[in-house]
Structures are given as structure tokens and as C-alpha cells.
Structure 1
Amino acid sequence: MTTNTRLPGGLATRLAETALVAAPFHLADGARLDSYFDEYRLAADPELLRDTATALAALVPDDAQLLAGIELGGIPLVVALSAATGLPAVFLRRRPKGYGSRRQIEGAPFAGRRTVLVDDVVRSGAQLLAMARILRMAGAPVRDALCVLERPLGGRALLAEHRVTLHALLTEADLPGARRGDPA
């Protein structure tokens, strides 16, 4: 678990002020939230995105060879993180593209390369687990995942059951102004 006192330049406060939104939000499973973390506001702020990527770079395991961003929230993060670390990146679609290349994984060669998943927010961990499975079936070993914000909804435990270690830049408790127990 990370605490905001370990982040440079009040990064947790800046992230909360920019991306923590007090407004209704509907999850894919039909649940409704009163507030949420808006990764697009983070990605739209070049200075904040750069600083977030720099902080995330410290969480990348030393033996990582490739970064994998999950559409759509993980894509700007993985591009910025790739620039910050010098590691190549791939981009993961939830489903294979229905035209053109028809690929689900785009970008750098990935087979046999130790890959780290990158996403914005982790709640249940189901999306990261699904993407880890896709990469593993394609020949890319995945043992780690990074996120900007971890919500305490079982994601870390689910991933650990499948041999994926979650490294979170922030947890719910690290966000100034976040209501405890609000699964943003």
C-alpha cells in the first residue's frame, strides 16, 4: 500500500483535485456510484500525466521488459509510462478488432517478454485478470500489474490467486477528499 506522503509534489492531492469527481457514475455491472476517479481528466493534463507516469515508473519491477495498457483508461498511462521508463508498450483491446488487423494486442513484439499490465483504477481485478490471461495465452508472461488507484473491492486478492501482484500508486485512503467506502 502506498501513502500520499511518499508521492512527490503533493501528487495525491493534485490527482484528487483533478480527477476525483463528485457526480453519478454507472459501472458496467449496473451499480451506481456517487463519485468516481476520472482517468480522462488525468490524461488530459500533460503535467499531471507526466508526474503520475514518473511516480508509476518507480513501481515497475526491475525485470520488466514490456508494458501493456488496457483500453481505454490504461492507454494514455502506458504511453506516458513507456516514455518515462524507456520500455516498449503494447495496447490491449477488450475484444479483437473486428476489421483491419483483427488483433487484440497491438504494438511492440510481446512473445516471451516479461509484461506488466497498466490500468487506471482497479476494483474487482476481473478486467486485469482477463487481460493477463490473454497475454499469457499469446506467450507473454505476466506477473505484475500497475494502477493509479486501487479500490478495496477484492482486486488485489483475485489477482494474487492467479499469480499477479498488484502495485498501486494510490489507495482510496490516500486520496484527499475521498469518502471512505465509496468505490470510485
Structure 2
Amino acid sequence: MERRELAVAMFRVAHLVGEFQLRSGRTATEYFDKYRFESQPELLSAIAEHASVLVPEGTEVVAGLELGGVPVATALSLATGLPAAFVRKKTKPYGTQRLAEGAEVAGRRVLVVEDVVTSGGQIVSSTADLRRAGAIVDQALCVVDREEGGAENLAADGVRLTSLFKADELREADG
């Protein structure tokens, strides 16, 4: 699937109009419902294919953030051959009591993977947790950057955000 074709398909499947409360606490009149594009095998596969070329050299683990980053990281792992880790919002209080499940992150260069970024708050929080667990984190990759301060907030925390699409690109692709 060509990049523009992917943008159009994602927009048509996932763009919603209404009133939506965002994680950042702000209210938005449009929303990209990540689960609508993440649950479509053809779209998720194409996302991983296009995102795989954006994975920084030297990445050892792709780490998907709970919940939306997990399917993207899994698909990206399949597309790149890199191991995946799945990062919880909070360490589970039972079993292995781990923050990051799957691939070991301690001492490894980890690419944080998220679906949609608005303020970048969850990446900032999860990056701090991963760093405390010994991961080397200075890069994040998202499918859609809403361009509402996330990249700047992450940069202030020493994390460079790369996005497959900016929100405006998706809007414009559907024309």
C-alpha cells in the first residue's frame, strides 16, 4: 500500500468528529480512534511496513506503550525482526511484577512506540519508568502526531519524536 493510500484509509477508518476528552485533559472536536486502524490487519501491516524505515539505527527493542502502542510495536517487531517489549502504565502487583513485559530492556537501546501523540504525557511518564528500569531511551515513534505540543514536551525530556503521519497530513490526504 502506498503511503498516501494508507493515509486516506487511516483517515476514513479512524477519524471521528464530535466532542472528545483527551488524556491531556483537553477537549477536542476531532479524534483519531487508534483502535479502528490498529484492528484492521491490512492497515496495521502497512503502518508497520512504512514505520519500519523510521526505526533509528542501533535500536535493540521496540517498546509498545499500554494499550494502543502494543499492537503497533508487535507489528513493527514482525516487520523489523526486533524484539518487542510491552510497557504497562503501572507495574503489576502480582506474578513477575514487571513494568515491561517481553524483551529485556535493561542496558538496551529502546524505541518507545505509541499510536497517537497529543501532549506526549504518557511517553514522558513511561520513558522515566523505562530509564529507571535501566533502558536507554532517547527516541520515540508514533503513528499519528496531533501536533499539539507532544514533540516539544518530549524534546525537553531528551526524547526525539518521529511520526509516520502528522494529523494535518491525514486530513489533507482525504482531501
The TM-score, its normalising length taken from structure 1, stands at 0.88
Q: Could you say which structure has the greater relative contact order, defined with CA pairs below 8 angstroms and 6 or more residues apart?
A: 1
1:130 to 2:125 alignment: yes
Give the conservation status (yes or no) of the 8 Å contact 2:11–2:170: yes
1:3 maps to what in 2? Answer: none
1:142 to 2:137 alignment: yes
Distance 1:139 1:30, change over 3 A: closer
Unaligned runs of 5+ in 2: none
Give the conservation status (yes or no) of the 8 Å contact 2:24–2:118: no
Among residues 44, 47, 50, which one is paired with 1:49 in the alignment?
A: 44
AA partner of residue 124 (structure 1): S
Moved more, 22-31 or 59-68: 22-31
AA partner of residue 27 (structure 2): R
How far has the Cα of 1:177 moved from its partner? 6.0
The TM-score, its normalising length taken from structure 2, stands at 0.92
1:26 maps to what in 2? Answer: 21
RMSD of aligned Cα (Å): 1.6
AA partner of residue 112 (structure 1): G
2:94 maps to what in 1? Answer: 99
- Helix, strand or coil for the counterpart of 1:22? strand
How far has the Cα of 1:153 moved from its partner? 1.6
Distance 1:29 1:155, change over 3 A: closer
Unaligned runs of 5+ in 1: 1-6, 179-184
AA partner of residue 112 (structure 2): L
Moved more, 115-124 or 31-40: 31-40
How far has the Cα of 1:32 moved from its partner? 2.5
Moved more, 65-74 or 146-155: 146-155
Structure 2: how far apart are the matches of 1:171 and 1:114? 25
Could you list the structure 1 runs, at least 4 aligned residues long, displaced by more than 6 angstroms after superposition.
none
Would you say how many aligned residue pairs link Structure 1 and Structure 2? Answer: 172
Among residues 151, 156, 163, which one is paired with 1:168 in the alignment?
A: 163
